Amino acid sequence: MVETVKKAKILTEALPYIQRFSGKIVVVKYGGSAMTNPELQRQVICDLALMKQVGMLPVVVHGGGKAISGWMEKLGMEPKFHNGLRITDAPAMELTEMVLAGKVNKELVQLFVQSGTKSVGLSGKDAGLLLAEKKQIKGVDLGFVGTVKTVNIEVVKLLLDQGYLPVIAPIGADVDGNSLNLNADEAASAIACALGAEKLVFLTDVDGVLQDPEDPSTLCSSLNRKDALAGMEEGWISGGMIPKIQMCLQALEQGVGQVHMLNGTWDHALLLEIFTDQGIGTMIKEDK
Amino acid sequence: MVETVKKAKILTEALPYIQRFSGKIVVVKYGGSAMTNPELQRQVICDLALMKQVGMLPVVVHGGGKAISGWMEKLGMEPKFHNGLRITDAPAMELTEMVLAGKVNKELVQLFVQSGTKSVGLSGKDAGLLLAEKKQIKGVDLGFVGTVKTVNIEVVKLLLDQGYLPVIAPIGADVDGNSLNLNADEAASAIACALGAEKLVFLTDVDGVLQDPEDPSTLCSSLNRKDALAGMEEGWISGGMIPKIQMCLQALEQGVGQVHMLNGTWDHALLLEIFTDQGIGTMIKEDK
Amino acid sequence: MVETVKKAKILTEALPYIQRFSGKIVVVKYGGSAMTNPELQRQVICDLALMKQVGMLPVVVHGGGKAISGWMEKLGMEPKFHNGLRITDAPAMELTEMVLAGKVNKELVQLFVQSGTKSVGLSGKDAGLLLAEKKQIKGVDLGFVGTVKTVNIEVVKLLLDQGYLPVIAPIGADVDGNSLNLNADEAASAIACALGAEKLVFLTDVDGVLQDPEDPSTLCSSLNRKDALAGMEEGWISGGMIPKIQMCLQALEQGVGQVHMLNGTWDHALLLEIFTDQGIGTMIKEDK
Amino acid sequence: MVETVKKAKILTEALPYIQRFSGKIVVVKYGGSAMTNPELQRQVICDLALMKQVGMLPVVVHGGGKAISGWMEKLGMEPKFHNGLRITDAPAMELTEMVLAGKVNKELVQLFVQSGTKSVGLSGKDAGLLLAEKKQIKGVDLGFVGTVKTVNIEVVKLLLDQGYLPVIAPIGADVDGNSLNLNADEAASAIACALGAEKLVFLTDVDGVLQDPEDPSTLCSSLNRKDALAGMEEGWISGGMIPKIQMCLQALEQGVGQVHMLNGTWDHALLLEIFTDQGIGTMIKEDK
Amino acid sequence: MVETVKKAKILTEALPYIQRFSGKIVVVKYGGSAMTNPELQRQVICDLALMKQVGMLPVVVHGGGKAISGWMEKLGMEPKFHNGLRITDAPAMELTEMVLAGKVNKELVQLFVQSGTKSVGLSGKDAGLLLAEKKQIKGVDLGFVGTVKTVNIEVVKLLLDQGYLPVIAPIGADVDGNSLNLNADEAASAIACALGAEKLVFLTDVDGVLQDPEDPSTLCSSLNRKDALAGMEEGWISGGMIPKIQMCLQALEQGVGQVHMLNGTWDHALLLEIFTDQGIGTMIKEDK
Amino acid sequence: MVETVKKAKILTEALPYIQRFSGKIVVVKYGGSAMTNPELQRQVICDLALMKQVGMLPVVVHGGGKAISGWMEKLGMEPKFHNGLRITDAPAMELTEMVLAGKVNKELVQLFVQSGTKSVGLSGKDAGLLLAEKKQIKGVDLGFVGTVKTVNIEVVKLLLDQGYLPVIAPIGADVDGNSLNLNADEAASAIACALGAEKLVFLTDVDGVLQDPEDPSTLCSSLNRKDALAGMEEGWISGGMIPKIQMCLQALEQGVGQVHMLNGTWDHALLLEIFTDQGIGTMIKEDK
């Protein structure tokens, strides 16, 4: 009984956090280990179901690189990359779409439905959600790799209004109807901007922004635009972190309230970030 | 950090309970020690605010006997009772209404508002909510003590629909406009019936129904109609418990889903009853 | 029969006035003799019920000074004033709230309900309607006397939309939840501004603005801002009338259409002011 | 001033009548002298505008026999009747429709609009409101005289919902699109039934049902079904009154609350019938 | 069967045109031979019914000059004109209104209803749609000829929203309630402006704007503001075409998307103009 | 021009058919050659887009057997069948879901979107649309082949209400979340029943029901329940046609208006069936 009362106390302690974000849209880019480790996946689904139930409006944009690579292997196709971008020829594109929109997406939807959460899976083709164009990089033919041109957000708003949790596969189509493989971070960011989301959360395998990349204890729990620009100039934000930070700053500029980088290998990382004051990753926001 | 993860686990464990009662109306008769003890009161407010936030639709009907007695004393008026019913002459009625609708009701509303919960206080006079008539008992003039005749529930539904938590003082008016002092249990029950509430909870100072009144370990955690009728026939439900049980059975008959008797002196009694399987009081329901 | 036809003629003569104010919000500060004299009170209730029925949207903010003083006397508490402001210590505040929100407010609601008018009583605590702070006057501790800081008008709009006549007691709460005694004129004015009311009517015991305070025949039936400022400069608006006029001008500035000062001791004063061209009090409006 | 207060008293006396019929549909067959006498017409328009403004939902179905006859004369056409039914050949029908739908109907609408009342004129052709068929009488060819077959009430409900006063000309169309001349009493009755009107009022030139047709003092102010049937059997309801009474009884059967026969030559006859207890004509209703 | 498949192909070819104008308001001034020739009329009704069914929102404003002249003749009244404007004395006005609002308007409505299209006929008097004033021309008394002052478009919007096709007779009323005869082109233009229509179509007996009035092959299928102004300066737009073009330019200025001049003597002229790229008349639009 | 006028005539001839089915739900099972032949596919998409645009509410349930078989071949998996049912082991199920929900479904959605039709793709997992259970056949383990248990139609209704064309892949999930391969005919039928569809159309490679299976000229263009039962008894309905007919009869029983069997290899088969009187396949309906 004492145990149960303790639980009740904890529930009521969450009240102010629940009230603060009630009715707010939270777009979560869901990828990395939190997707491939079943226990972590169970926790993410559970955390998002709870966020939905207590009144937040989560939207999930998922990756699926490992599943794609697995299927390419089965088919004897060789994954090729250029600077981290998957070179996607026509057969690879066909497979990528099948895996993302037909397998990963529907598995996630099914997990939500079984957790008692009304959920609908979409690809960027549905209702013309993500109109894209081929990504042009000098000297390399990336194939069917795209970048988002226009977001037609109507169907996502409709589903949110009616109590559904939308789960979105990062597949776009160009004006001729060709499928294009989109970067999930970019798709999530574009959708968060189109929704004017309160929060955009990148659930990945890194802790966030470290002042000294070698030392986890130097994690910045909060970073505003000025800090971020300084970090890039001073060099402690470098390498692959630079385009990520630039995407975050762009999202802030286009009306997203805050952007979070979060290590999904932590238990209940999402809930901790939302329901505690300090959080566990890096929150990036505009200068006051 | 370990502590925080544990909290997150507990939050997610509450999910099925939250989902089960989401959108359901819960009428709580709030009285006894849970009202006079400030710490218990803080917990009740907090529990109800949480229930509201996670999607339930609580309605509070409050008592206030101690506060009335206190003010009568200040004014040199002597409380008089007949079989537990407060004999209420005209000056006592005027004071009773002021204390219940002007003091106790507004204090509760204020506590909800400060907890971030939209709340409106009503007496049974507002919008003609509780039309009553004088209670007739042979040989005794109870004065302005009433019994509910008609419930005009429209305003309560309106407030629930618009996200408010209604707090109701058990004051009625007869057709001539005279104020009448109502029994809070009866008022709560009438309101729960008019709303077709999922749950009606009596938060009082007793544990529930005991098979042996001397032995708290004989608490019935669940009781259906057949059991209750048997208990009254066999005599282990007796005395003041009989009219309470009859009111419960009548509420079930008129469409209330379940009735709970709950000891409000337990910490977070409300939350424990709603968010755990066994609960801590007695739940009365129809035979299957 | 001739008499009845005459009545029909009179009804149809009211048509243009009814049409002019149909759907318009009219906030009435209700105080003075019109509140304590039963026959005048009956007329005010009746006038407001009619205004409601023919399509206007009246909101009542009531006083209750006499009732408060009466109860203080019963309790042996001595009313203390400073420049017309009631000094309100903690026990006086508790009593004031009980009398205003528990007695006067509910009596008025009951009279409306019995006249066939859907009505709900509110205090400034309900739904956080009137957030206030202590009034600071140098050298005097007024106790729990407040001034309006923020109006959270949502619940009043909801009730008006749904056909209710809101009756409001001038009690506010500060951020810490302390009850504060508000000036009813100020509360009415703040509510009228928040609603963008067409009319704000002060129903008091004075005729309106007199050019010669000694001579009732010098009543100004209409006054615009320029006139009012002139009156204060020239001195024929003086004394206690100055703050009243300043409040009126401020209300006009914040979007109220017209402000009326009206002697509630006249029979059907409200109806006469609304349903006749000249009216019987003083109407204050912006310069064209 | 005394006069004005008297007016206010009269206005408030009407309150209970206004409340009783607020939101109720009242279909008025408007014909006879009340239509041709300009002063009576002004009063009828005024009475209906007032009824609308105070919350009733009047619908007007008008006649226009005199205007039709006038135009036939101008064109050298000779009015022909058979048992009170106007024999209507093709040229007469064309003229009848022009006069009713193009002249009388629009004049009435214009009067309402000028009185500040939103009003739309319809003929039975608009939105297929009155589908009719030729009236068949053995041995006589009545020409384009019709009887109502189906009422498609949707457009009238829409206009009422949106605050318009519908004014309807009794012209129908058969399945082949031929215009048919309808009896205005019958059209009004059919529309009242389709609307489930609270009241159907025949505003004509007779006082109502008299027990002794020679003696106006024998007016029945109220008549239930049993009385009416008795009257026809006993013979004091006879002649042209019989089909009228039968139409009334049929309307009651099909859900109309009460039917009124009213002498429109009385000043403000409509208002008197609605806003006084006894009324001035005959009210026919079901047996209790 | 081959024939039927060809039909199906044609239907699907219309799809892009249907989609382009779905939900768009199209105001059609309907006059000339297309009104008096029964086969052309049948086609116009059919074309409009189809436009409605596939999602456009047509509004019809009709003329009726021939029908008026015919009736004047029957009554021995002599039509008089001044510069193409019908001089309208009181008896002529009475007749004009009866013919337009009572005969032509209702005939059109009936044709729509029989084609399965929900339709309601209005004159400019209904719901105060067209407030007009007498047209003043120096030295000539045109009688009851008016020009549009204010459009109260509410009722038309309501009917469009609810799926009705409004058919409007060009009759207005002045502030005193006098009927005024309006030019149908002007009424259609005023209504199109008030609705912010996508298209305003003048269905008349001329082909459109010709660069050489003698040579039909010089038809301008499209004309922007600059061209039109040039045409008037250069003289190839002249005579009666000048005020028409000025009205078109004014409509564009007030928010109408495009204005079409169309020869209604062509079979299915309306459908050809809307559902083909080049169209058959002249389309006038703003400079890009 | 003559050609264009002919087109206009054909468009207007379709009007009655369009009106008859406006607002009616039509569920189309889309499979067979009409899916694999690009030109036929283009026509089907076009026909459905037109049906949508003119006011019908089509819902597509698609098959995809050929695409599945193609991918199985690529992966060296051998298709196995039992009585026409595809035996589906775990790897086959994974592939089937990817092909149906990730490839075929999204391709169709994309074609609709490019045709200007708002469309969303769903699998039976989305929003718990198709709850299924394993199909039990004695002596054979069909693997993950399912049969529909419950249809949760809410999301489909929502999309139809908001103007979307839903495209549904016949994948279900059992209570444990396992994917199940559903028969597309059965899924279409279950969805049509849940929607109370006006029409259920099976677009396959057979002409419909033939009285003499050898002779195409014996096609039954219409069949009621009595005929169908007779056909099965008399033996001219036999073999694989029997379960199809039983499914049709069951759909009629559960509220579907009519069921159509249609040969999708005909050009514009869908449009011909809907927009002509006789149609080209077999229509099955209840006895009158």
Cβ-contact B94, C98 below 8 angstroms: no
**Which residues, listed in sequence order, are joined to residue C57 by a DSSP beta bridge?**
C25
Closest Cα partner for A93 from A178, A187, A184?
A178
CA distances from E116 to B132, B280, D220, F20 (A): 56, 66, 47, 9
Determine, for residues C50 and D22 on separate chains, whether the beta-carbon distance falls below 8 Å: no
- Tokens for C282, please give them: 């003083």
Residue C288's pLDDT is what? 79
Closest Cα partner for F35 from F102, F111, F134?
F111
3-state secondary structure of C184: helix
Element (H, E) at E121: strand E119-123
Residue B240 binned pLDDT confidence (cut-offs 50, 70, 90)? confident
- Tokens for C180, please give them: 């504060």
Cβ-contact D21, D191 below 8 angstroms: no
**In chain D, count of helices (H) and strands (E)?**
12, 14
3-state secondary structure of E69: helix
Cβ-contact E184, E63 below 8 angstroms: yes
DSSP string, chain B: -HHHHHHHHHHHHTHHHHHHHTT-EEEEEE-THHHHSHHHHHHHHHHHHHHHHTT-EEEEEE--HHHHHHHHHHTTPPPEEETTEEEB-HHHHHHHHIIIIIIIHHHHHHHHHHTT--EEEEETTGGG-EEEEEPPBTTB--BSEEEEEEE-THHHHHHHHTT-EEEEE-EEE-TT--EEEE-HHHHHHHHHHHHT-SEEEEEESS-S-BSSTT-GGGB-SEEEHHHHHHHHHHTSS-TTHHHHHHHHHHHHHTT-SEEEEEETTSTTHHHHHHHSSS-SSEEEE---
Angle separating helix axes B90-97 and B65-74, nearest 10 degrees: 120
Determine, for residues B53 and A53 on separate chains, whether the beta-carbon distance falls below 8 Å: no
Residue E1's pLDDT is what? 66
- Tokens for C12, please give them: 């149809």
Q: What is the rounded distance in angstroms from the CA atom of residue B229 to the CA atom of residue B252?
A: 14
Per residue in C150-167, pLDDT tens?
999 999 999 999 999 999
For residue A45, give how far its alpha carbon lies from the nearest alpha carbon of chain B (Å). Answer: 10
Question: Is the pLDDT score of D127 beyond 90?
Answer: yes
Determine, for residues A74 and F75 on separate chains, whether the beta-carbon distance falls below 8 Å: yes
Enumerate the residues of chain F whose CB falls inside 8 A of the CB of residue A106. Answer: 97, 101, 123, 125-126, 171, 179
Determine, for residues F125 and A110 on separate chains, whether the beta-carbon distance falls below 8 Å: yes
For residue B95, give how far its alpha carbon lies from the nearest alpha carbon of chain C (Å). Answer: 9
The string over E189-198, giving b where at least 16 C-beta atoms fall within 10 Å of a residue's C-beta and e elsewhere, is bbbbbbbebb
CA of D98: which chain E residue's CA is closest? E102
Other beta carbons less than 10 A from residue A238's beta carbon = 12
Cβ-contact C181, C9 below 8 angstroms: no
- Tokens for C112, please give them: 């409306």
- Tokens for A145, please give them: 């790799």
Question: Is the pLDDT score of B190 beyond 80?
Answer: yes
| φ, ψ for residue A198, nearest 5 deg | -70, -40
Task: Name the residue facing C162 among B75, B94, B158 (closest C-beta).
Answer: B158
Determine, for residues F94 and A103 on separate chains, whether the beta-carbon distance falls below 8 Å: yes
Do D and B touch, counting CB pairs below 8 Å (3 needed)?
no
For residue A247, give how far its alpha carbon lies from the nearest alpha carbon of chain B (Å). Answer: 30
Determine, for residues A116 and B268 on separate chains, whether the beta-carbon distance falls below 8 Å: no
D-side interface with E, Cβ within 8 Å? 74-75, 94, 97-103, 105-106, 109-111, 113-114, 118-123, 125-128, 155, 158, 162, 164, 171, 173, 177, 179
Question: Is the pLDDT score of A10 beyond 90?
Answer: no
Enumerate the residues of chain B whose CB falls inside 8 A of the CB of residue A51. Answer: none
Determine, for residues A121 and F120 on separate chains, whether the beta-carbon distance falls below 8 Å: no
Residue C201's pLDDT is what? 97
Enumerate the residues of chain A whose CB falls inside 8 A of the CB of residue F125. Answer: 106, 109-110, 113, 121
Closest Cα partner for A49 from A117, A120, A118, A110?
A117
For residue A280, give how far its alpha carbon lies from the nearest alpha carbon of chain B (Å). Answer: 9
Task: Give me chain C's average pLDDT, please.
Answer: 93
3-state secondary structure of D152: coil
Instruction: Suggest the residue from B77, B103, B126, B130 to mutate for an interface test with chain C (most C CBs closer than 10 A).
Output: B126
| φ, ψ for residue D117, nearest 5 deg | -110, 125
Do B and A touch, counting CB pairs below 8 Å (3 needed)?
yes
Strand pairing report for E119-123 and E165-169: parallel
Lowest mean pLDDT among A45-49, E230-234, E240-244, F129-133: E240-244
Instruction: Suggest the residue from D6, D10, D22, D112 to mutate for an interface test with chain C (most C CBs closer than 10 A).
Output: D10
Cβ partners under 8 Å of residue B91, min gap 6 = B77
Domain residue ranges in chain C: 25-197, 203-288
A-side interface with B, Cβ within 8 Å? 1, 4-5, 7-16, 18-19, 22, 43, 46-47, 49-50, 53-55, 115-116, 266-268, 271-272, 275-276, 280
Q: What is the rounded distance in angstroms from the CA atom of residue C206 to the CA atom of residue B28?
A: 48
Closest Cα partner for E148 from E161, E135, E165, E162?
E135
Residue D30 binned pLDDT confidence (cut-offs 50, 70, 90)? very high
Per residue in D216-275, pLDDT tens?
899 999 999 999 999 999 999 998 899 999 999 999 999 999 999 999 998 899 998 888
* End-to-end C-alpha distance for chain C, whole angstroms: 46
Cβ-contact A61, A193 below 8 angstroms: no
Enumerate the residues of chain F whose CB falls inside 8 A of the CB of residue A111. Answer: 177
Cβ partners under 8 Å of residue E233, min gap 6 = none
CA of F271: which chain E residue's CA is closest? E8
Per residue in A262-272, pLDDT tens?
999 988 999 98
Do A and C touch, counting CB pairs below 8 Å (3 needed)?
no
Q: What is the rounded distance in angstroms from the CA atom of residue E10 to the CA atom of residue F5?
A: 12
For residue D271, give how far its alpha carbon lies from the nearest alpha carbon of chain E (Å). Answer: 24
Backbone Cα Rg of chain E: 19
Enumerate the residues of chain B whose CB falls inside 8 A of the CB of residue A43. Answer: 12
Residue A1 binned pLDDT confidence (cut-offs 50, 70, 90)? low
For residue D284, give how far its alpha carbon lies from the nearest alpha carbon of chain E (Å). Answer: 34
Residue C56's pLDDT is what? 96
Instruction: Suggest the residue from D110, D144, D161 to mutate for an interface test with chain E (most E CBs closer than 10 A).
Output: D110
Could you tell me how many CB contacts below 8 A there are between chain A and chain F? 100
Cβ partners under 8 Å of residue F283, min gap 6 = F221, F222, F223, F258, F259, F260, F273
The 3-state DSSP composition of chain D as helix, strand, coil percent (nearest 5) reads 45, 25, 30
Instruction: Suggest the residue from C95, C126, C155, C171 to mutate for an interface test with chain B (most B CBs closer than 10 A).
Output: C126
Task: Name the residue facing A268 among B8, B16, B19 (closest C-beta).
Answer: B8
Q: What is the rounded distance in angstroms from the CA atom of residue B63 to the CA atom of residue B187?
A: 10
Instruction: Suggest the residue from B2, B50, B273 to mutate for an interface test with chain A (most A CBs closer than 10 A).
Output: B50
CA distances from F251 to B26, E189, F129, F183, F285 (A): 41, 52, 18, 15, 10
Question: Is the pLDDT score of B278 beyond 80?
Answer: no
Task: Name the residue facing F125 among A113, A158, A162 (closest C-beta).
Answer: A113
Determine, for residues E123 and D113 on separate chains, whether the beta-carbon distance falls below 8 Å: no
DSSP string, chain F: -HHHHHHHHHHHHTHHHHHHHTT-EEEEEE-THHHHSHHHHHHHHHHHHHHHHTT-EEEEEE--HHHHHHHHHHTTPPPEEETTEEEB-HHHHHHHHIIIIIIIHHHHHHHHHHTT--EEEEETTGGG-EEEEEPPBTTB--BSEEEEEEE-THHHHHHHHTT-EEEEE-EEE-TT--EEEE-HHHHHHHHHHHHT-SEEEEEESS-S-BSSTT-GGGB-SEEEHHHHHHHHHHTSS-TTHHHHHHHHHHHHHTT-SEEEEEETTSTTHHHHHHHSSS-SSEEEE---
| φ, ψ for residue B239, nearest 5 deg | 60, -135
Per residue in E260-283, pLDDT tens?
999 999 889 999 888 877 788 999
Q: Which CATH architecture describes the domain E25-197? A: 3-Layer(aba) Sandwich (3.40)
Task: Name the residue facing D54 among C43, C53, C115 (closest C-beta).
Answer: C53
Do E and D touch, counting CB pairs below 8 Å (3 needed)?
yes
Other beta carbons less than 10 A from residue D260's beta carbon = 25
Determine, for residues E171 and D119 on separate chains, whether the beta-carbon distance falls below 8 Å: no
Q: What is the rounded distance in angstroms from the CA atom of residue A62 to the CA atom of residue A60?
A: 6
Residue C1's pLDDT is what? 66
To 10 degrees, the CA torsion angle through F254, F260, F264, F269? -130
- Tokens for F112, please give them: 């609709």
Cβ partners under 8 Å of residue F243, min gap 6 = none
* Complex ipTM: 0.94
Residue A278's pLDDT is what? 73
Determine, for residues E53 and F49 on separate chains, whether the beta-carbon distance falls below 8 Å: no
Determine, for residues D158 and E155 on separate chains, whether the beta-carbon distance falls below 8 Å: no
As a whole number, mean pLDDT of residues B247-276 equals: 92
Strand pairing report for D171-173 and D165-169: unpaired
- Tokens for D209, please give them: 């049902």
Per residue in D52-92, pLDDT tens?
999 999 999 999 989 999 999 999 998 888 877 789 999 99
Residue D1 binned pLDDT confidence (cut-offs 50, 70, 90)? low
For residue B185, give how far its alpha carbon lies from the nearest alpha carbon of chain C (Å). Answer: 21
As a whole number, mean pLDDT of residues F90-118 equals: 97
Q: What is the rounded distance in angstroms from the CA atom of residue A216 to the CA atom of residue E183?
A: 82
Degrees, nearest 5: CA angle F193-F197-F198 = 135
Enumerate the residues of chain C whose CB falls inside 8 A of the CB of residue B173. Answer: 110, 113
As a whole number, mean pLDDT of residues A42-56 equals: 94
Tallying the residues shown for chain D, one arrives at 288
pLDDT in tens, chain E (288 residues): 677 788 888 888 888 888 999 999 999 999 999 999 999 999 999 999 999 999 999 999 999 989 999 999 999 998 888 877 789 999 999 999 999 999 999 999 999 999 999 999 999 999 999 999 999 988 889 999 999 999 999 999 999 999 999 999 999 999 999 999 999 999 999 999 999 999 999 998 888 999 988 898 999 999 999 999 999 999 999 988 999 999 999 999 999 999 999 999 988 999 988 887 778 899 999 987
Enumerate the residues of chain E whose CB falls inside 8 A of the CB of residue D108. Answer: none
